Structure 1
Amino acid sequence: MLTELGFVGPAQSDHLYHFTARNGVFANWVPAEIQKMSGPARLNAILRDEQVRAFPPFSVGEAGMPCVCLSESTPEQLAYLIAMMMFGPWGIVTNRAHANSRGGGAVAYVPGPVFDTFRRHDLGHWAMRTEAGSTWLHEREWRIPCRSGRYEIGVLDAILVGNAAWRPSKVVTEWVNVDTGLPVEADQAENPHVVPTREDYPRLWRETPVWAWDRAAGQVVKYEPGELC
């Protein structure tokens, strides 16, 4: 059961965005192959694998808690983040109650000495330092701690793309055992007697609304699940 978090005020949003395209420096513990990927390529991998790779936030160091980072954004805030070139319009969208049910929550923005207290208690991943050179309040960040380093996706509110013409890479969705001629499940795909028989777009793409960013209008155009298949 999802946790009831109460009302969302006009300055708040129930939508939380995990952007796969953003400007800025990566922490050096993020693998080079991920750093080199474009925003669309990272989104493609997330949809294919149905999971997000989680790493310790930049501010807590390599030994810190891996987290999936999200931004709470109203439509106006989303337009601002994209227009200011801080984030590219690529990623996945969930909601506050779902993040909370997975152990996530809003990050505290606190002065340096308070942040140091968080870190001394191994809670640095729940806070951001607010001082000169550390101005991140615009992100309105939430985090979901993932000790395993992988956040498994069940359902999403939406998939955010920067172009309505974009499509993820197709994946194998059906297999057959050549000896019996019978269909088999994905967990048997490595059997040498099993061959793929059908490809399709990833499950999340077929089952999730897609929000395509319209740069001229400064807003998203919303498509129903399967409409862009």
Structure 2
Amino acid sequence: MSASERLDSILRSELLRSSKPYGVECACICFSESPPAHLAHLIADRQFEPWGIVVTREVVLDAGGGAVAYVPDDVYTQFRAAGLEHWAVRTGTDSTWMHEREWRVPVPDEPKTITLGVQLTSLRAVLIGDPGWRPSSIRTGMWIHMQDGTPCHVCGDPFCQEITELPRLWLESEIWVWDMAARAVTRHPPGTLI
């Protein structure tokens, strides 16, 4: 999936799927800690795509996650020997991951997912790279007659259409639109970009 397709999937399903970080046996959900200046560095300088979700540290901690330790090779070997390599990143000369300031939520039994609506009940924000982008609408199962506005059922009438709506997380979250020229986000209150 492209970055925008992945974000669309997350918003519609309210699921974050785990994967195994490089060199790690335990599946995790991974986050990058990004204050505004660091977010600009990741997107503008490191070429990360400006599509994603923004959560708070408390949400990650409540889901059983935490900050990853950035350690020398000999200490990383000790983490690995203890089966805890998912909590550490090597800082050797060939390590290229230091810029991420990573946080992880371990999910040891694959295939397992964390449901945003349960473990992660809300988002701080949704980050998008295109001000005109909107997530795919979700089917509601409710039908309405488009001429008179009365409820109807699937009946073959071309004016009887299913009502759709934007995903809950999109409507309830602040939307951050990346502005490449300004190297910053423009913030929109919840429910205003519909």
Query: Normalised by the size of structure 2, how large is the TM-score?
Result: 0.84
Matches within 5 A, 1:26-175: 37-60=1-24, 64-147=25-108, 148=110, 149-153=112-116, 154-175=121-142
Contact 1:59–1:128 (CA under 8 A) maintained in structure 2: no
Q: How far apart, CA to CA, are the structure 1 residues paired with 2:8 and 2:175?
A: 13
- Report the counterpart of residue 11 of structure 1 in structure 2: none
The one-letter amino acid paired with 1:221 is T
Q: How far apart, CA to CA, are the structure 2 residues paired with 1:101 and 1:220?
A: 27
Point out where structure 1 has 5 or more consecutive residues left out of the alignment. 1-36, 177-181, 184-195
- Report the counterpart of residue 182 of structure 2 in structure 1: 217
Per-residue deviation, residues 140-180 of structure 1 (Å, max 9, x unmatched): 1111112353121121000000011101111112347xxxx
Q: How far apart, CA to CA, are the structure 1 residues paired with 2:114 and 2:3?
A: 18
Percent identity over paired residues: 46
SS in 2 for 1:116: helix
Higher relative contact order (CA 8 A, sep 6+): 2
Aligned residues: 175
SS in 1 for 2:55: strand
Query: Normalised by the size of structure 1, how large is the TM-score?
Result: 0.72
Question: Larger Rg: 1 or 2?
Answer: 2
**Shift in Å at residue 225 of structure 1?**
1.0
Superposition RMSD on alpha carbons, in Å? Answer: 2.0
Q: How far apart, CA to CA, are the structure 2 residues paired with 1:136 and 1:57?
A: 11
- Report the counterpart of residue 198 of structure 1 in structure 2: 163
Q: How far apart, CA to CA, are the structure 2 residues paired with 1:214 and 1:47?
A: 22
SS in 2 for 1:159: strand
Q: How far apart, CA to CA, are the structure 2 residues paired with 1:218 and 1:56?
A: 31
